[in-house]
Amino acid sequence: MNMNKNIKDFKNISFLVKVIVRGLFFFIFPAAYSSAFSGAKYAVSRISSGEPIELNPFVMILIGLLAFTILFGRYFCGFACAFGTYGDVLYEISVRVRKKFKKKPFAFSIESGLWLKYGKYICAVALLALCYFGKESIIGKISPWTVFSRLEALSLPDKGNIIGVFIFLALSILMLFEKRFFCRFLCPMGAIFAIMPVFPPSQLGRNRSRCFGKCKQCINVCPANITITDTTCDENGEADIPEIPIQLGDSSMGECFACGKCVESCPANNIKSVTILKEYKGLMWIVIKGAVLAVLLYFLMF
């Protein structure tokens, strides 16, 4: 009874902490993701014109977020990106509505997710190619991010961005039905983050031999349906951090949003990471990483 109460209390506190962290990033740094992508677009345009890349604020934000991602994984996507938070809120609403009406949740199969995730790399290459060939203005006319930024600032989207409005609406509908639809399958900035190597202590690993039977709890709760990389055991039977930092398979850590849901939900406490820990230490890490990222973005953006 007492244990159940402790678990319930922890879940409530964890939910509250995550809502506060995400809410603060949403309202204080709503443009961080679009600024970082502007840095990438600018860099590609300069490469195409043969001019040196200056360290303007957009490039600095891009460099700052990439460095942060190498150190801590995609915490930015997991907790700090305004568009990612918007998608998660939509999905959460749809889950609750479907529960109320006793409707089964819709979800792509894990196999289709494995293929669809390459969509974001195609998007990134296509958009950066437009910049390379001097057609960057097209992006402004079709960008759902621009529409979102305008709405977030409580302004109406530009009339010239009608295609962007349609894309934004289509994405919003898709994000209602599939968790992290945009982030996993279409986000060009997500594609750039996903190819970053992740510092080993921030990677996840599990010792499959210690799992409870055929338990798939970690895959089921994961917003990216990731199968955690199996690790080898050392002589004490302890799981090591995976030796291969990035795999293009299902366990690719580049696809991991560093949200910690798998670690929190594992009944065997079997998923290892130094910077995503279970229970209150895990929450503490979320707050510490959030504070580091907030300070970084504050100096880069203001």
Q: Is the distance from CB of 182 to CB of 175 less than 8 angstroms? A: yes
Nearer to ligand SF4, 130 or 192 (CB): 192
Q: Site for ligand SF4 (CB under 6 A): how many residues?
A: 24
The Cα 95–Cα 106 span in angstroms is: 9
113 lines the binding site for ligand SF4 (CB under 6 A):
no
**36 CB-near residues (< 8 Å, 6+ apart):** 58, 61, 62, 65, 189
The nearest distance, CB 235 to ligand SF4, in angstroms, is: 27
83 lines the binding site for ligand SF4 (CB under 6 A):
yes
What's the residue count for the chain?
302
Nearest-5° Cα angle at 172, 37 to 150: 55
Nearer to ligand SF4, 48 or 215 (CB): 215
Residue 4's CB is within 10 A of a number of other CB atoms, namely 8
Binder to ligand SF4 among 40, 171, 256, 293 (CB under 6 A)? 256
62 lines the binding site for ligand SF4 (CB under 6 A):
no
Binder to ligand SF4 among 131, 198, 226, 283 (CB under 6 A)? 226
Q: Which two tokens stand for residue 78?
A: 């997991």
What's the sign of the alpha-carbon dihedral 211, 215, 219, 220? negative
Binder to ligand SF4 among 62, 81, 175, 293 (CB under 6 A)? 81
77 lines the binding site for ligand SF4 (CB under 6 A):
yes
**How many Å from the N-terminal Cα to the C-terminal Cα in the chain?**
49
Binder to ligand SF4 among 30, 84, 254, 282 (CB under 6 A)? 84
The Cα 12–Cα 216 span in angstroms is: 23
290 lines the binding site for ligand SF4 (CB under 6 A):
no
40 lines the binding site for ligand SF4 (CB under 6 A):
no
Q: Which two tokens stand for residue 171?
A: 């994405």
The region, left, alpha or beta by phi > 0 then psi within -120 to 50, assigned to residue 212 is beta
The Cα 126–Cα 205 span in angstroms is: 33
Select from 109-117, 122-130, 153-161, 179-187 the region that touches ligand SF4 (CB under 6 A): 179-187
The nearest distance, CB 221 to ligand SF4, in angstroms, is: 6
Residue 144's CB is within 10 A of a number of other CB atoms, namely 22
The nearest distance, CB 242 to ligand SF4, in angstroms, is: 12
The nearest distance, CB 53 to ligand SF4, in angstroms, is: 21
Q: Could you tell me how far CA 19 lies from the centroid of its own chain? A: 15
Give residues 257-286 in contact with ligand SF4 (rule: CB under 6 A).
Answer: 257-262
Q: 186-225 mask for ligand SF4 (x: CB under 6 A)?
A: -x-xx-------------x----------------xxxx-
Binding site for ligand SF4 (CB under 6 A): 33, 77, 81, 83-84, 182-183, 187, 189-190, 204, 221-224, 226, 228, 256-262
